[in-house]
A = this chain, B = another copy of it.
Amino acid sequence: MSALIAIDAMGGDFGPHLIVPACIASLVEFPSLHLVLVGQAPVLEELIALHPGVDRARLQVEHASEVIGMDERPTHALRGKPDASMRVMLELVRSGRAKACVSAGNTGALMALSLYVLKPLPGIDRPAMVTAVPTARGVCHLLDLGANVDCSAEQLYQFAVMGSVAAEAQGVVRPRVALLNVGTENIKGNQQVKLAASLLQQAQGLNYIGFVEGDGLYRGEADVVVCDGFVGNILLKSSEGLVSMISERIEALFNEGFVSRLAGAVALPLLKRLRGELAPARHNGASFLGLQGIVVKSHGAASGEGFQSAIRRAVIEVRENLPQRLHGRLEDLLL
């Protein structure tokens, strides 16, 4: 499969100095991958020139004069910056020149611009961000992760449908779909969650299993867990912080005395791996589901390796033809 993927080379906390080398590493990883780096051409050319071995036939540069700041208002990004790297990147997907795009930039701006440029799939109000979170029994596809801080019951319903289809695309058979809630009894939860539950109970062709609580998520009680973006973002980031805290405490313990150091030699590599797995947004990127095109969001503070993972995610979604799969299933499942 030869795919051209557009990259917002200016986004993220570290910008092109991190993104350009990560892209070059991805070209090595996927021999048939083509990338187009969008951003300030002179800066990008200078950074590419540091890697004389790179196959320029597979690494194009598309100039974009403007950059959207990490804390810029989405409305301003939408109205005031027609030549922003993020926007030009999305236009490449819209026009069909690129099959997917990846940005580590401002999440709110990426959401607003994606919606404006690519448009949502029929029946979808707003896209959701999804990533795979590790559980005791495998992974759980958690959405929304922060794209929508206020969600209606109808939106939660749409997320459930999209999450189910996305999990199926990754090989899960009849994914168990649950709503995240503060209890598993019917009377629990806020208005949106209760209403979403009654919508999901009536949905044909969806394996809706009811409410799941925060601990149930990590016990692996569901394959797809649905919540609004405020809750999802806080769940994901607090989990990330908790794993860091535990790792640091255990590392400190393992530095006291010989026996402890020996124990540390065994435990620390595992902890390090777990830490990576448990920071999926930072390490793997997250997908925007529900758009007429593939958009992968890399964490603003992602490492080069993290940005490469986001590109990998985009490559897989191109291969799986995710938007088309979603479109096909949404017609049956949406209200």
A interface residues, Cβ below 8 angstroms from B = 71, 73, 108, 134-136, 146, 149-150, 180, 182-183, 185, 187-191, 213-219, 227, 229-231, 233-246, 248-250, 253-254, 259-260, 262-267, 270-271, 274, 278
Chain B residues within an 8 Å CB radius of A150: 190-191
Cβ–Cβ contact A217 & B246, under 8 A: no
Residue pairs across A and B with Cβ atoms less than 8 A apart, 27 shown, are: A71-B185, A73-B187, A108-B188, A146-B182, A149-B182, A149-B188, A150-B190, A150-B191, A180-B234, A182-B233, A213-B233, A214-B235, A214-B239, A216-B241, A218-B238, A218-B241, A218-B242, A218-B244, A219-B241, A219-B244, A250-B271, A253-B266, A253-B267, A254-B266, A254-B267, A263-B263, A263-B265
Closest to A277 in B: B249
Cβ–Cβ contact A242 & B245, under 8 A: no
Among A185, A214, A249, the most chain B Cβ lie within 10 Å of the Cβ of: A214
Cβ–Cβ contact B182 & A245, under 8 A: no
Bound state CA distance, A73 and B248, in angstroms? Answer: 43
Cβ–Cβ contact B227 & A234, under 8 A: yes
Closest to A265 in B: B263
Chain B residues within an 8 Å CB radius of A71: 183, 185, 187
Closest to A189 in B: B149
Among A185, A238, A239, A262, the most chain B Cβ lie within 10 Å of the Cβ of: A238
Cβ–Cβ contact B263 & A240, under 8 A: no
Chain B residues within an 8 Å CB radius of A229: 182
Cβ–Cβ contact B267 & A234, under 8 A: no
Chain B residues within an 8 Å CB radius of A134: 245
Chain B residues within an 8 Å CB radius of A146: 182
Cβ–Cβ contact B236 & A214, under 8 A: yes
For residue A120, give the distance in angstroms from its CB to the closest CB of chain B: 21
Known interface pairs A187-B73, A254-B266. Does A182 touch B214 (Cβ–Cβ under 8 Å)? no
Bound state CA distance, A250 and B268, in angstroms? Answer: 10
For residue A192, give the distance in angstroms from its CB to the closest CB of chain B: 9
Cβ–Cβ contact B249 & A274, under 8 A: yes
Chain B residues within an 8 Å CB radius of A214: 233-241
Known interface pairs A219-B241, A238-B215, A238-B217. Does A230 touch B190 (Cβ–Cβ under 8 Å)? yes
Bound state CA distance, A182 and B129, in angstroms? Answer: 14
Chain B residues within an 8 Å CB radius of A136: 244-245, 248
Bound state CA distance, A227 and B149, in angstroms? Answer: 14
Cβ–Cβ contact A270 & B253, under 8 A: yes
Chain B residues within an 8 Å CB radius of A266: 253-254, 259-260, 263
Closest to A180 in B: B234
For residue A12, give the distance in angstroms from its CB to the closest CB of chain B: 15
Cβ–Cβ contact A242 & B278, under 8 A: yes
Closest to A150 in B: B190
Chain B residues within an 8 Å CB radius of A267: 250, 253-254, 263, 267
Known interface pairs A262-B259, A267-B253. Does A218 touch B245 (Cβ–Cβ under 8 Å)? yes
Bound state CA distance, A182 and B136, in angstroms? Answer: 26
Chain B residues within an 8 Å CB radius of A235: 214, 234-235, 238
For residue A87, give the distance in angstroms from its CB to the closest CB of chain B: 19
